[in-house]
Amino acid sequence: MQHFIVIGNPISHSKSPQIHHAFAKHTGLAISYQRQFCPDDKDSFVAVVQAFFHGGGVGANVTLPFKEIAYQLCADTGNLSDEAACAKAVNTLAIKDGKLYGDNTDGRGLVADLIGQGVSLASSDVAIVGAGGATRGAILPLLKAGARLTIYNRTLTKAQSLATDFDALSKHPLSIKTLDELMRAKHDVIINATSATTHGQHLDLGDCQANFAYDMMYGKPSAFLAHFAAQNAKICDGYGMLIHQAAYAFELWTNHAITADCLSQLKTA
């Protein structure tokens, strides 16, 4: 029996246990995957991680609000994947070569879901709304897929810091624009990486147009997606991203890849 957890606050809503138990059934592995509530402070998070791995745990997922703390813990005491180092956030923990190892599978999960939805990212004009951790985690995988990125954010200085960090990795410099400019924009693909949907807030999209709209959030009505659905654009929420990022984590922990058929079944379950 291999033991896994997802650490967060709140955590009762997490669908990760169902997803990973489905992966285990598909691959014939015996696992236990539990939700782990953690008080919202660094010391508590570090204590939970240490107790889990010292007790024989194999892998842990990390969700809000601990991804940045997990990054710093791995940076200080262990190692990081390229994706986690660029994102400055960790959503997957494991032990590699005797040290804590942090990965970020969110962006790869996003790209995999977009491609699975039939989106061609190579040389596509892709916009991301927001400049927080979710955007930072998505940029490197999107650039690797060949996308040309525009980031819209209320605070330009925050978005410009992203451009400074990632421009050296991109064939095309990241374009930085204000939310006011979003209202007149048109893109091949537009991604909502803000928490507006989670909090029931409305982004002022004006006359913004896109061929494909993606909201990283899932499980709640999305005014963002409704705006583009009214234009007959193709729309998608972030549930597929959740499944794909989980599959990358599962493979890291177990060396078992999840088949496309299994992923498809989970998306439609």
CA atoms within 13 A of residue 207's CA, in its CB half-sphere? 2
| Share in percent of the chain as helix, strand, coil (round to 5) | 45, 20, 35
Beta bridge partners of 80: 102
**Do 129 and 141 contact (CB within 8 A), yes or no?**
no
**Do 182 and 205 contact (CB within 8 A), yes or no?**
yes
Residue 67 annotated among the catalytic residues of the structure: yes
Count CB neighbours of 20 within 10 A.
Answer: 24
CA atoms within 13 A of residue 192's CA, in its CB half-sphere? 30
Q: Which of 15, 25, 42, 67 is catalytic?
A: 67
**Do 61 and 16 contact (CB within 8 A), yes or no?**
yes
Q: Strand pairing of 59-62 and 79-80?
A: unpaired
Sign of CA dihedral 214, 217, 219, 221: negative
**Token output for 55:** 């007790």
Q: Checking phi first, is residue 213 left (phi over 0); if not, alpha (psi -120 to 50) or beta?
A: beta
Query: Which residues carry out catalysis?
Result: 67
